[in-house]
Amino acid sequence: MLRKVLIANRGEIAVRIVRACQELGLDTVAVYSDADRMAPHVRRAQEAYHIGPAPAAESYLCIDRIIDVAKRSGADGVHPGYGFLSESPDFAQAVLDAGLIWIGPPIEAIRLMGDKAAARRTMAAAGAPIVPGTQEHLSDEELVAAADRIGYPLLVKAAAGGGGKGMRGVYQRQDLLDCMRAARYEAQAAFGDDRIYLEKLVSGARHIEVQVLADTFGNVIHLGERECSIQRRHQKLIEEAPSPAVSDQLRAEMGRVAVKAARAAGYVSAGTVEFLLDQNQAYYFLEMNTRLQVEHPVTEMVTGVDIVKEMLRVAAGRQLRYTQDDIRLSGWAIECRILAEDPYRNFIPSTGKIASLWEPTGPGVRLESGVYPGVEVTPYYDSLIAKLVTWGETRGEAILRMRRALAEYRIIGIRTTLPLHVQVMNSTRYQGGQFDTNFLEQRFTIDDSSQPDHLKVAAIAATLLAHQRNQQAILLQQRGSSPWKLVGRKRALRQPL
């Protein structure tokens, strides 16, 4: 039985999972670091346990501490969210060894799809179209020879990679060795595995992914595709569902391949099969993400399927509530990832206290946030602080609602990517669906002059105000006890016994 769920994560995704559990009548347990004592997910969960200092390596990545909290709290299952330990087979194994329910895919599927080269071999055997490339066990000399056969441009990719780490584009032969060395170094640092392989770089490609759901009864369905081509350095910034480049016929075909791929991997729970779509409508298997995706809300908005609830139900041993015939796409949804980064200064991280916050509302607007006024945005974790999603009956309406929602959204105290999203929504290329994975880096330039002067002044004023309040708080602390405590004690003495 699944009665109490520990959420091994933080921020907006932890809040999202808490809400899904509450709607299913499940108790929730949060974990937090020193930096997250007052975080929203801590406030919303029914129980919360401290697991260590602010750095993730000493808290959210500590498997033993999380398992210990699960046992002490009496949790029945663990949901990893995304990021951190969500695709760690060692963590999944530790959860199962502790006698708990792992709310995710089988360990074998995590290991198989986590090794990108092994995933390519598996998908090729299952009949999925694969980008031309090499195996992961070749030496540098063999890779150079293979590169000449495949042809340039190429991608050097980490076999155990993900999130753009250990990945380098190579456009001419003389750069190959340097790119391979850099990719090996980054892969070793990020994943403890320096194996690399080569793939043909598909020019002008779009990044299309298909959401799949599977249960333990052999039922596997897909929920249509998501368009994820608006990205920077292989990191997604804007997603939408469906894709403006995918026809009904192509959607059905890619969906069938994604379901076949999930079956080949022995998959259970929610997962995503990612493809590259070229300018001739040919598509190629890229990888499979064995976890809940950041951008899952856009699929939920157009299908009406609560993906997190389905994960919980499947983990509890139940069948999917839907068949493939039940899935119908309705309208259009767009998601903007709101990052604590400065788009005017090459996206450098922005930290500090959020002095003021105005959040958008209204028809067709969904906001999933992990911050509130007064919260400190620290450098210890991912820069994602919120996801803004809009829905419309058409893509045009979804864009208009996103433009309105972005105009209503105000975050003062730190820099965010809100100005970038505004300019993308105003781009005629984006509005016309004329973009690919190189759009932001090759066909788009953020205009600094478009930032209103009064917002710059307000940001400076908010920062100064926050600093002044901090100084006042320090002075009060140095002066001793608060006078309000004294008043409270005097009132208490007046009370009759």
pLDDT digits (tens, 9 = 90+) for 210-242: 999 999 999 999 999 999 999 998 899 999 999
For helices 116-125 and 107-114, angle between their N-to-C axes, nearest 10 degrees: 100
User: Is 472 inside a domain boundary?
Assistant: no
pLDDT digits (tens, 9 = 90+) for 163-214: 677 889 999 999 999 999 999 999 888 888 888 999 888 888 999 999 999 9
Cβ pair 350, 334 in contact under 8 A: no
Name the burial class of residue 403, with classes exposed (0-12), middle (13-18) and buried (19+) by CB atoms within 10 angstroms of its CB.
middle
CATH code of 357's domain: 3.30.470.20
Q: Are residues 352 and 273 in the same domain?
A: yes
User: Is 475 inside a domain boundary?
Assistant: no
User: Is 92 inside a domain boundary?
Assistant: yes
| Rounded distance between C-alpha atoms, residue 458 and residue 218, angstroms | 56
Q: Which distant-in-sequence residues (6+ apart) come within 8 Å of 68 by Cβ?
A: none
Cβ pair 306, 16 in contact under 8 A: no
Q: Are residues 180 and 249 in the same domain?
A: no
Q: Look at the chain and report how many structural domains it folds into.
A: 3
Cβ pair 91, 6 in contact under 8 A: no
* pLDDT reported for residue 274: 95
Tokens encoding 37: 């004592």
User: Of 176, 200, 224, which marks where a domain is finished?
Assistant: 200
User: Is 455 inside a domain boundary?
Assistant: no
Amino acid in position 43? R
CATH code of 50's domain: 3.40.50.20
Find residue 133's DSSP bridge partners: 199
Q: Are residues 46 and 80 in the same domain?
A: yes
pLDDT digits (tens, 9 = 90+) for 93-134: 999 999 999 999 999 999 999 888 788 889 988 888 998 888
| Rounded distance between C-alpha atoms, residue 133 and residue 155, angstroms | 9
* pLDDT reported for residue 368: 97
Stated pTM of the model: 0.85
Provide the sign of the torsion angle of the four alpha carbons 437, 441, 444, 448, taken in this order.
positive
Q: Are residues 83 and 180 in the same domain?
A: no
Q: Are residues 252 and 375 in the same domain?
A: yes
Q: Are residues 166 and 248 in the same domain?
A: no
Q: Are residues 99 and 175 in the same domain?
A: no
Q: What is the DSSP string of 227-267?
A: EEEEEETTEEEEEEES-TT--HHHHHHHHHHHHHHHHHTT-
* pLDDT reported for residue 467: 56
According to DSSP, the β-strands at 27-33 and 4-7 are parallel
User: Is 489 inside a domain boundary?
Assistant: no
Tokens encoding 428: 């005629």
User: Of 141, 174, 200, which marks where a domain is finished?
Assistant: 200
- 168, 206, 226, 291: the active-site residue: 291
User: Is 459 inside a domain boundary?
Assistant: no
Q: Which range of residues forms the domain containing residue 54? A: 4-103
Low-confidence ranges of the chain (pLDDT < 50): 454, 474, 476-477, 480-497
291 is catalytic: yes
Provide the sign of the torsion angle of the four alpha carbons 41, 45, 48, 51, taken in this order.
negative
User: Is 97 inside a domain boundary?
Assistant: yes
Q: Are residues 256 and 140 in the same domain?
A: no
| Rounded distance between C-alpha atoms, residue 89 and residue 265, angstroms | 15
CA 358 from centroid of its chain's CA atoms: 23
Q: Are residues 193 and 293 in the same domain?
A: no
Tokens encoding 154: 């190429």
Q: Are residues 419 and 351 in the same domain?
A: yes
Q: Are residues 321 and 429 in the same domain?
A: yes
User: Is 471 inside a domain boundary?
Assistant: no
Q: Are residues 254 and 373 in the same domain?
A: yes
User: Of 184, 200, 216, which marks where a domain is finished?
Assistant: 200
